Chain A
Amino acid sequence: MTATSRPALRGIVEEFLFREAALLDDWRLDDWLDLFTHDARYMVPSTDLPEGDPGRDLVFIDDDIMRLRARVARLNSRHSHRENPRSRTRRFVSNVRVEETEDRQLSVSANVLVYRFRSGEGAPYVGSVEYVLRRDGEDLRIAYRRAVLDMEDLSWHGAVSIIL
């Protein structure tokens, strides 16, 4: 993946993001977890402080890889009651932008719309997801993933019970 043209690079990243979205919608969470580097972070800031820093501010989620694995184990178990039975989700990923950083990582942002349906109700999570992707041979790995919600609060959902 050297000297890739910009549109081609975006194509590669989009392919990766679409594959990731499908894994999440299909609840193949263990496979999804394989996309991450061992030093990865997954973060969701509070709705009233999108720029929130987990070292200083209150956020919704700030997982290192250990806690992300525990989150997936929890979601895979029968005792994650908010997601048992599992909700149906459908993700739409668009407006993908890619910047190559000096250390050859990819700084990516995308708009995302995640519809979630369960218990006779449905509502979207709307926001953007920022990534730092790292090259791993011919493949990409997620080193950082931050989902920033546009909603003013979680009044539609009551929780962040799925991966955003």
Chain B
Amino acid sequence: MKNAAEPMDIRDLVIDDRKRGVFRVHRSCMASPDLFQRERRLIFDRCWIYLGHESEVERPGDYRRRTVAGRPLFFVRGKDGQVRVFLNSCPHRGAMICRRDGGNAKILRCFYHAWSFNTEGELIGVPGRDAYGPNFDPAELGLKKPARVDSYRGFFFVSFNPDAEDLRTYLAGARDYLDLVVDQTQEGMRVVPGSNKYAIKANWKLLAENSLDGYHLIPTHRTYVDYMAGLGTDDSGDSLAARPPGAGRALGNGHCVSENISRNGRPIARWHPVFGEEAKERIARTRRRLVREYGEKRAFRMADTSRNLLIYPNLLIMDFVAISIRYIEPVAPDRMEVTAWHLVPREESGAALATRLDSYLTFLGPGGFATPDDVEALESCQTGFRASENEWSDISRGMLKSRPGTSDELQMRGFWRQWHANMLGRNTTNVQDGQPTESQAAAADSEADGLGHRASAR
């Protein structure tokens, strides 16, 4: 590994030889504080980043607090029904306005000097107002907003980049996959109360990769696979070859998906013994509705296929045994905070909801039968990276295949190609395995973009 005094060229961090099928990522990408800062600037300050779901603020005055790309934010539903997002810092002196994770308020008051704001963010109360001079303008002192806020099908995103392309364009091929999730419900989706919050001592990109990685399923999650087999999963195939076909796809702009024919039950419309006999008719009914509304082909995708969808850079929608929204907040090169929520169709209650909630807990969540082992794998990699003479990670699986499956790694290469392009200051790149190669594109790009491609690798 190059020593700290010798900066690593950003262009050299990813080796992407599409002709020979070689794809390597330099491990400093997961460990370097300089690269972490560069990511903040070139990715998290520029992309659309997930904030929350509309159902988390149902009534006027409902608010939720979040940390998004390092910023304390909160979102609140106004009297007019509109969701607004504010920086959680008083325009007066900086204290946090919103000091609870969530609640309901008509007026938002900063506890420090008692400046108060309405849910539209306007400054409506300043104690001792007469002591301020004539140039004190309350209209300029409302709560500040992120540069951009937009939503797609109930998912709210923010961008701190005023010039960001619109959210629909940004989401590219991921839109169809979000549709496949949301269209499963008749009455819309909602996030159930309670979230799973945990931290992993590893670089955030490792969880983005891991969440799309079908190759690790059997070795890492053997206990889960065995458990499901014991419960009657129809194909408990012990080898990659025995698993049903699936596809790994790069959807553009770094969004990627791992799409599988489901072996397990899907609470929406694929019955599994674990759900119990009594659920059979209900699930069959939902399936008939999906076929009626969307046709056999699309209903099949909704009911019988599962998808792990990465919305670049740091959001995952895991739609398999249940639907999980997983948000990754990078906090240091070797540390991330993860929050997971459970997304359910509004019309489900009672037994249907209980089945779905129970299904979630088998795999997902830090107390489930699988997630703890992913945490272990990621932390193990991060520690392994300290063996810095071992400079490269290999992500080339299936690179020369025309139709890579879920245990191949196109869906990870798609992520990394976007990441590399962003780190070089470019917004778009060819994320597929075909030509042109990254290095060709980078060479065609003059160095005149003024960003400087050199940064210390450690």
Contact = CB atoms under 8 A, between A and B. Distances in A.
Give the most central of B194, B201, B341, B353: most A CB within 10 Å: B194
Contact size class for B? 35 or more
Interface string B186-217: 00000011111111110000000000000000
Given A48-B197, A158-B198, A159-B198, A56 B192 contact: yes
A52 B196 CA distance: 12
A48 to B, nearest CB: 6
A52 B197 CA distance: 14
Contact of A57 (B194, B222, B379): B194
A54 B359 CA distance: 11
A79 B201 CA distance: 21
Interface of B: 101, 192-201, 220, 222-223, 227, 230, 337, 340-342, 353-354, 357-358, 360-362, 365-367, 369, 371-373, 375-377, 379, 383
Contacts of A52: 193-194
Interface stretch (A95-103, A131-139, A149-157): A149-157
B102 to A, nearest CB: 9
A157 B342 CA distance: 21
B450 to A, nearest CB: 38
A60 interface: yes
A94 interface: no
A74 B226 CA distance: 9
A83 B376 CA distance: 9
State the majority secondary structure of interface residues on A.
Answer: loop
A62 B220 contact: no
Nearest to B230: A70
Given A46-B196, A154-B199, A159-B375, A55 B357 contact: yes
Interface string A72-90: 0110010111110000000
Contacts of A46: 194-197
Contacts of A153: 197-199, 337
A161 B354 CA distance: 24
Given A48-B101, A82-B373, A54 B357 contact: yes
A59 B357 CA distance: 9
Nearest to A147: B367
B342 A58 contact: yes
A74 B198 CA distance: 21
Given A158-B366, A161-B372, A57 B197 contact: no
26 contacts: A46-B195, A48-B195, A55-B354, A55-B357, A57-B192, A58-B192, A58-B340, A58-B341, A60-B361, A60-B365, A60-B367, A62-B358, A79-B222, A79-B223, A80-B372, A81-B372, A81-B376, A82-B373, A82-B375, A152-B197, A153-B197, A153-B198, A153-B199, A154-B196, A154-B199, A155-B337
Ranked nearest first, the 7 interchain pairs of A and B with the lowest CB-CB distance are A60-B367, A153-B197, A58-B194, A159-B372, A155-B199, A154-B198, A49-B194
Contacts of A107: none
